[in-house]
């Protein structure tokens, strides 16, 4: 594990570095407080730090304050090394953001024990962050397909429309529906239907750019947000999406199944934050209905926006 050791006394620094390397740490050193603060603020910098109290440019407590102010997403466990003995000094150091302190000269066994405590706390924080990210993912993604869920994809659509106003660029939306999906479920069973939805989801992702967004809108419907895509390119992009599903059968536990989608498409190039998304969704849904009525496995576009 990386550890930063900051001390302006070269002999003390070398001794501490040697001892910590012997204990298996990857040691990074700093000779003053400013250098220490900068190293700790780097991306992928050390998350364990041993900081001497008295240093030039920034003393130990000042390093603690700066690290706490600059790092919001990553926690660094900081041990202050000090010759100060008064409880007032210790309190001030802890208030500045230190997690623990050791008085100099420190015993190697005690230092190792304190650092071990710091590692345990950092491991706990990592687990909490991982749990938080898993909860955030589950709150915004569909459990079956791992695509954005309905709420999240609509939030992304609104965000993209707001951004399009600033960039003066259009946004196109594709509403896709798996053709004859009920028949697939009735014929092969719901597990096969789930396989189809998962494969369709992956192919939709493969058919769009990395900065486009794909969400499961509900059941066998999917919503695709194409950023910076105007009316001229919308039909071509929608056809690419449609062919990405229809050109190859989906392999399932019951063998290959031919699957297609119908697509309603709309370009939104007139938008302001006072508008609602729902009228545009109704228009693209009507286009999808026309594609279904015209024989399925096809794209129908909203030719001109109705007043919203």
Active centre residues (catalytic): 220
Q: Which two tokens stand for residue 212?
A: 């486009």
Q: Which residues pair with 177 in a beta bridge?
A: 221, 262
Of 67, 239, 225, 247, the closest CA to residue 156 belongs to 225
Give the full edge-to-edge strand order of the sheet including 213-218.
213-218, 221-227, 171-178, 261-268, 299-301
Task: Measure Cα distances from 58 to 39, 77, 270 in Å.
Answer: 13, 18, 54
Decide: 237 and 301 in contact? Cβ < 8 Å: no
CA angle 16, 22, 23 (to 5 degrees): 90
- Helix axis angle, 181-188 relative to 190-207, nearest 10°? 140
d(CA 129, CA 246): 41
Q: Which of 81, 76, 84 is nearest to 102 (CA)?
A: 81
Contact 47, 78 (CB under 8 A): no
How many angstroms separate the CA atoms of 198 and 178, rounded? 12
What one-character DSSP code corresponds to residue 190? H
**Nearest CA among 214, 193, 196 for reference residue 205:** 214
Residue 281: which region, alpha, beta or left (left: phi > 0; alpha: psi -120 to 50)? alpha
């Amino acid at each position: 594990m990386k550890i930063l050791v900051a001390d302006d006394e070269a002999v003390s620094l070398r001794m501490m570095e040697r001892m910590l390397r012997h204990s298996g740490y990857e040691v990074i050193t700093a000779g003053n407080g400013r250098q220490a603060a900068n190293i700790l603020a780097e991306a992928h910098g050390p998350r364990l730090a041993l900081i001497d109290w008295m240093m030039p440019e920034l003393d130990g407590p000042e390093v603690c304050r700066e690290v706490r102010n600059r790092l919001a997403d990553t926690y660094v466990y900081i041990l202050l090394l000090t010759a100060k003995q008064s409880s007032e000094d210790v309190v001030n150091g802890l208030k500045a953001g230190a997690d623990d302190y050791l008085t100099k000269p420190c015993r190697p066994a005690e230092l190792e024990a304190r650092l071990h405590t710091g590692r345990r706390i950092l491991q706990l924080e990592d687990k909490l962050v991982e749990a938080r990210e898993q909860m955030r993912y589950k709150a915004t993604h569909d459990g079956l397909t791992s695509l954005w869920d309905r709420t999240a994809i609509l939030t992304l659509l609104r965000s993209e429309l707001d951004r399009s106003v600033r960039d003066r660029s259009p946004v196109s939306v594709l509403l896709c529906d798996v053709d004859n999906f009920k028949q697939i479920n009735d014929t092969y069973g719901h597990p096969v239907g789930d396989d189809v939805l998962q494969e369709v989801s992956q192919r939709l992702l493969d058919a769009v750019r990395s900065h486009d967004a794909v969400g499961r809108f509900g059941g066998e419907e999917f919503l695709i947000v194409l950023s910076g895509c105007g009316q001229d390119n919308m039909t071509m992009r929608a056809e690419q999406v449609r062919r990405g599903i229809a050109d190859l059968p989906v392999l399932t536990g019951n063998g290959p199944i031919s699957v297609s989608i119908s697509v309603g498409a709309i370009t939104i190039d007139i938008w302001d934050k006072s508008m609602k998304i729902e009228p545009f969704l109704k228009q693209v849904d009507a286009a999808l209905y026309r594609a279904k009525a015209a024989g399925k496995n096809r794209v129908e576009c909203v030719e001109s926006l109705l007043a919203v």
